[in-house]
Each structure stands twice: as C-alpha cells, then as structure tokens.
Amino acid sequence: MYKEYLTRAREILSDMTLSEKVGQLNQITITPYTGKTDELKELIRSGGVGSIILASSATAGNDPQGHVNVELYRDLQRIAVEQSRTGIPMIYGRDVIHGHRTVYPIPLASAASFNEGLVERCYRNIAVEALADSIRWTFSPMLDLCRDPRWGRIAEGPGEDPLLGSRMATACVKGFQGDDLKADGSIVACAKHYLGYGASEGGRDYARTEISDVTLYNYILPAFRAAVDAGVGTVMSSFNDINGTPVTGGRKYLTDILRGKLGFEGFVVSDWGAVCQLEHAGFAENREDCAKKALHAGLDLDMCDKCYIENLPDLVKKGEVTEQEIDTAVTRVLCVKLAMGLFENPYGKCANYDKNVHLSNAKLLSDESMVLLKNNGVLPLKKDTKILLSGPFAEERRTLLGTWTLDGSAEETPNLREALSQKAAGVFRYTEELKDAEDCDVIVLAVGEDYRKTGENHSVSDISLDGAQVELVKKAHATGKRVVGVFFCGRQMALGNAAGFFDAILYAWHCGSKTACSVADILFGDVVPSGRTPVTFPQKPTHIPLYYNVTSSGRPANGYYGELSQGTYDDGDYAPLYPFGYGLSYTVFEYGKAECADGEVSLEELKSGKKVTFSVEVTNKGDYDGKETVQLYISDTVASVIRPIRELKDYKKVFIKKGETKKVEFHLGFGDLGFYSENGDYLVEKGKFNIYIGKDCLTDNSAVLYVI
C-alpha cells in the first residue's frame, strides 16, 4: 500500500538537504511557541517541521487541552506548502482516541460490544469529524493487551484477549482509514503502544515489563499483526523495555519483528519524549546517543523532544549515523504523506456531516457495550415502577465521556438523572441521602469511578468500590427495597465487597455522549442488554492478575476453572466474580450440543486450506428478541509448550427472535489451531483439541477434534 509511492518519495528526497530531511523526522507541539508565532513560522518555513501534534502535554487524556484552531493550522500549513523550499506539507495529529465532537464508548467498553462491524462504523464517524477540523492523523487504536486493571490505561485498550483485540484493531483501522486514505472521511491511524506497554509491572504506568517470547508472540503481538494486515499507516513505539532493551531503541522489535515478520510498511513514531528517555533509562549516554540508537532501531519520527533535529546532522558528520539511514526514515514518512493525498490536498476539507447520525451510532454502540452482570428478577423495570435515584454519579456528565476526551462537550452530555426523569417523570425522584426510601419500589444507585482515575499516569492500587460508596450501597440494601447498581467505570472493578448488596448490576462503563440514555433504555427494557465482559472481574483486588487464558500447571492450581487447588490462597477461593465473555440478557438463550462435522483432520489437509466446521443450535426461549454472543474456545491438550487452558478462537453475535432457533457455525483452519514458538515461528501440532462453544469461557459444552 505504501511501497507503491516509493518512486515518487525518492524523487522528492533527491532534492532535499540533510537539514530538510531531518526536519521531516521532527514532530513538535505548538505550545512552546505560544507568543512566539514568528519563530514557529520560521521553523516551518526552513523545513524544520514534519508533523505537529495538536496537544499541549504528554498526558493530554486528562489534562485540559486547547481548542482546535482550524484557521491557525491552515495558515501554518500554507507556510509549509507555499513558503518552504521543498513544499512538503505537514501532518497534523491529535489524540482522537474514541471520539471527537461526538464521543463513543471508551475502547475497553467498545470491546464489550463484541460487535466489530458497529465499531468500524463509529470510528468512521470519528474520522469524518476529525478531518473537518484539519486533523489528518489519530494516535489510535491503542492495542495493549492488559491483565492488570490497576493500570489506568486499560480503559484505552481492548482487554485481555488476543482475538478480541485483533478484531477491534482491524475495525478501528478500517474505520479510520477506509479502503483509500485519499478518500473523503479517511485519516491515518496509529497502532500503539508497540510493544508490551500493557504489561507494566504492578499496573504502575511507565514501569518495567517482564515478557517472555512466547507471551510476546501469542498474546501481545496478535492485535498489532491485525492492524498491520489492515494497512495501518503508522505505529507508535512504547516506553517500556523487553529483555532489558527499551522498545524505542530496540531494532529487534521495531525492525526485525515489526517490518520483518509482520510486514509493516508505514512509519514508526515515538511516544511523547520517548527518544530522550533512553538516557534516563540508562540505555543511552546522552541525547546524541539517544538519537543514534533510536534511528538505528528503526524509529522514524521523533515526537516532541527534538533529539533528532538537534543531533542527527552532527552524527552524520561524525560518521556515527549514515545519511542513508536518515533517507530510509524520511522515505517512509513521505510514502505515508503521499498515500494520504497530503500533497494534493494539504488543508483537508471542512466536511459537512450529520451530528444526529453520529449520535445515533454512538447510542447503538453504547447500548451494546453495557454488560448486565447481575439480575435477580428486578430488571427490566416496569413503566410505573417508583424509582429513587441516588449515588455520586447520578448528576455526573464529564465522567460519562471517559478519559482521552479532548473535544467532546460535557455540557451537551445528558446525566442519568435527566435521562431517567424523561423515561419515568411521574414515578421518579432523586435524592443524595436516600431520604424517604420507603415510598419507592426500587433504588437505583449511580456508582463507580471518576474518569480522572483512569488514563495515562492514573493508575490505582485498589480497584474495589471505595468505602463511602460501599456504605451507601449497604444503607440502600438495609431499606429492604430492591437495589439496582449502575456502575460508571473505566476498568473492571473488584466487586466482591459490594455485589451481594445489589439485586441487579448494570456495568455501564464510560460510554460517551449517550451513556445515560443507554442506561435508561436498558433499565426499562427498551433495549435488551447484550454486552459481554472483555476482561475478567476479580472478587478482590488482591487476586490480580486474573485472566481466563491462563496456562495449565503441573498441579491443580487453576481456581479460575474450579480446580480444587493446592496452590490457591488459604484465605479464600480466587475464582472470578464474573469470567471473560460473561453477560446476561432479559431473554433466555438455550444452547444445544456442540457438534463437529468431522472429528478428525490431517495436518496436511489443514496446511492445504481445509477447515473443520463446528456448530451449535441456539434457541431464544424468553420473552424478548435479543442478541447473543456465541463464543468458541479451544484447548490444545498436549503441545511442545504449555498452552492456555482455553483460548477464544471465534465468536458470532447473532440476533434471535423470541421462540426462534438459529444454527451458528464456525470454521476452524490452520491459522486457528496453532501457536507461535519463542522464535516467532507459527506451528500447528498433531493431537487432541477440545472445542468449547457457549456463553462465556466457562462453558462445558464441548466437542473433540483430532489433528492427525
């Protein structure tokens, strides 16, 4: 996709000076030039800027940011195009993570929808809105697999599963970029953080990681592989090290694996200030050494620390960096600029779009992202149910948008009190202190966590519901009324200290502009819940890490799957409160037996493309039409390396009318039954595979496949 522009890129490169080349590898933020407009314009005029990030800080997700200034951006672009010697346009990038003017569910919540088609549609809407504000490049999707919900940035990723992460990666990249980067409504995506940032030790942001090669290839890399296969234009290097080598300075990761094994053709950008941080990490002697090692590794664009522009020219003169290395990096940047049509259309378009259509799609995704975790018959509420609403998030607006919301409007976001009052005005009351609870039928508590507890540099040590909210929950329970909990959260919480006091729990996440509207519709049954957990919910925070695709042990130590464990805790079972893939509905889906069309297949047949069909009949025996996410897991019972007890290998979200039965089929082939070795080689081995099909990872509905 990008290599087709090599000839033109090399023609442009042939007429560039060394300083102009290095300028193309320099990304700046405008903030340091506030009040210094002439200095900024001269830097651009001299060819010293290849890209501008439209953010005022590294932690823009929770820091106040300046408003988009389209007039200024076009003026600066005009200088680059019309007044610089090369006339090469700049790329404007902004953290358009899960929405722009319209805000969609945080990525972790979107993953809970298990509906990549809807996600792709919504991310196309995001691209259209961003492009209208001259934003041509987004630093999304974040694809960090995460097993530790203490890490604040878990909100930005797809959860704990490689397959779900891969499908979300494909959906986001296709949504942002479309089939043609030059087409109206397309912007360049950026797969981040490559590689392993989500494994930050203890959930502490920026901390070290400890990642084996088997874990790297089988768990962490698949989502990035999917993004590359979908044609992603850019990749962002991560802060962390692997095996003692910072990824930003690791040629094995940025060149050998990313370009060699995955076939990536675009350019690599550092995270904010990551090049100069090589010195702080003790991997480089000084800033000059930082620039040299990052360029050698295969990092093309330097974000905001000026290491490249200040040091690369001198490094060439000293013979420590070749101009050919710089040419290679510049060529990659130019190929992406050419692919996106930046030379033909450097200013973007003030596109018209229907905000109501985008809000409608945001509502659909919000509806499907929310997960009904518990329901003792209280939901859905009848229209005449007398409701008492309380809780610290009942009137909250900004938190509903979630972290990394730079341009959404909290003032335009309905809160839960407003949404419920519109649904049940005559039987609805709001109180901060549960006053007059005896007059109600149901107490609805809006609880959870503030958006500022998630995102970059916002990790927490305890993911339990805080003490004040637990006391409120207990007080509500003590009234004898039925209690419904609506949780507004950016991560999974450990609810063992609170779940027992609720009659129903709706996990509403931070779902964007239409969060409260979706909650109201679900509570009253106008929307049937269909979200599934993309992560495991532990009972206690002390059970972290807890994830479903854990490997077997030589002794019965896997309490996740109900083993009588010698290796579990003496003070209690660590089985999940809610497992991966879990979610309730208002209707009842009954599964038939998992069937295998052919229980035996040869390895040679698989290599030649044969697939084995598995199926299950699902009947809706309830009173509502609804969507069911049918999930297929495999277990490779004996292998040359210890394999996970279960791995999600396919899922289908199907709509089934009440009284209807649907046959759901899955087709597994060579690419589904194998694993990557420590060298990154893909292997499928002969042996027995247990195939599980059901509602979540704990299903016991199984069939057997033998690979001979």
Q: Exactly one of 148, 271, 503, 672 is catalytic; name it.
A: 271
Close Cβ partners of 382 (under 8 Å, ≥ 6 residues apart): none
Helical (H) or strand (E) element with 523:
helix 515-523
**What are the two backbone dihedrals, phi and then psi, of residue 71, each rounded to the nearest 5 degrees?**
-60, -45
Residue linked to tokens 């700049």: 90
Close Cβ partners of 179 (under 8 Å, ≥ 6 residues apart): none
3 state SS of 287: helix
Say if CB 185 and CB 351 are below 8 A apart.
yes
Report in angstroms the alpha-carbon separations of 1 from 26, 178, 230, 233, 526: 24, 13, 10, 9, 45
Nearest to 487 by CA among 436, 547, 416: 416
Residue linked to tokens 């598995």: 614
Residue 243: DSSP 8-state: T
Q: Per the structure block, which two tokens stand in for 426?
A: 């005559």
Say if CB 447 and CB 393 are below 8 A apart.
yes
3 state SS of 446: strand
Q: Per the structure block, which two tokens stand in for 512?
A: 């964007």
3 state SS of 37: helix
CA distance 7 to 218: 36
Say if CB 192 and CB 143 are below 8 A apart.
yes
Count of beta carbons in the 10 Å neighbourhood of residue 213 = 14
CA distance 105 to 414: 15
Residue 133 catalytic?
A: no
Q: Per the structure block, which two tokens stand in for 624?
A: 């509502």
Amino acid at 175: G
Close Cβ partners of 610 (under 8 Å, ≥ 6 residues apart): 601, 669
Tally the C-alpha atoms within 13 A of residue 115's C-alpha that lie toward its C-beta.
25
CA distance 92 to 340: 12
Residue linked to tokens 């009137």: 395
Say if CB 190 and CB 97 are below 8 A apart.
no
Q: Per the structure block, which two tokens stand in for 637?
A: 């019972």
Residue linked to tokens 């009190």: 417
Residue linked to tokens 């974040």: 142
Say if CB 424 and CB 383 are below 8 A apart.
yes
CA distance 372 to 696: 14
Count of beta carbons in the 10 Å neighbourhood of residue 58 = 17
Q: Which residues pair with 520 in a beta bridge?
A: none
> Which residues participate in catalysis according to the annotation?
271
